[in-house]
Structure 1
Amino acid sequence: MSETSATSLPVTEPLPAPAPAKRVDVASLSLEALTCFVTETLGERAFRAPQIYRWLHQRGATSFDEMTDLSKALREKLKAVADIVPLVKDVELRSIDGTIKYRWKTHDGRYIESVYMPSEDRKTLCVSTQVGCAMACGFCMTGTMGLKRNLTPGEIVAQVHAVNREVRKNEGLETLRPLSNLVFMGMGEPLHNFENLKTALSILQSEDGPNFSHRHITVSTVGLVPMIERFGQETDVKLAISLNASTDEQRNKTMPVNRKWNIAALLDACRKFPLRQGRRITFEYVLIKGFNDADEDAHRLIELLKDIPVKVNLIPYNENPGLGFHTTGEERAEQFRAILADHHIAAYIRKNRGRDIAGACGQLANRGDAAPADGAT
Structure 2
Amino acid sequence: MSVAATAPDALVALSARIGADPLLVQGGGGNTSCKRDGTLWVKASGTWLAQARERDIFVPLPLEAVRAALQHQDGEARLTQLADPRALRPSIETSLHALLPHAVVAHVHAVNTIAWAVRADARARLDALLSDMNWAWVPYRRPGYPLTQAVREALSQRAADVLVLANHGLVVGAADCAGADALLAEVERRLALPQRGAAGADLARLRAVNDLNWERPSDESVDALATDAVALAIAREGALYPDHAVFLGARAAVVEPGDTLSAAVARAGIGDTAPVYALVRGAGVLVAPGLSAGAQAMLHCLALVALRLRGDEVLSYLGDEDVAALAGWEAEAYRRALARSQQARPEHPQPEH
TM-score by length of 1: 0.25
Q: Which has a greater percent of strand?
A: 1
Tell me: higher relative CO, structure 1 or 2? Use CA pairs within 8 A at least 6 residues apart: 2
Q: Report the structure number with the largest CA radius of gyration.
A: 1
Higher helix share: 2
TM-score normalised to structure 2 length: 0.26
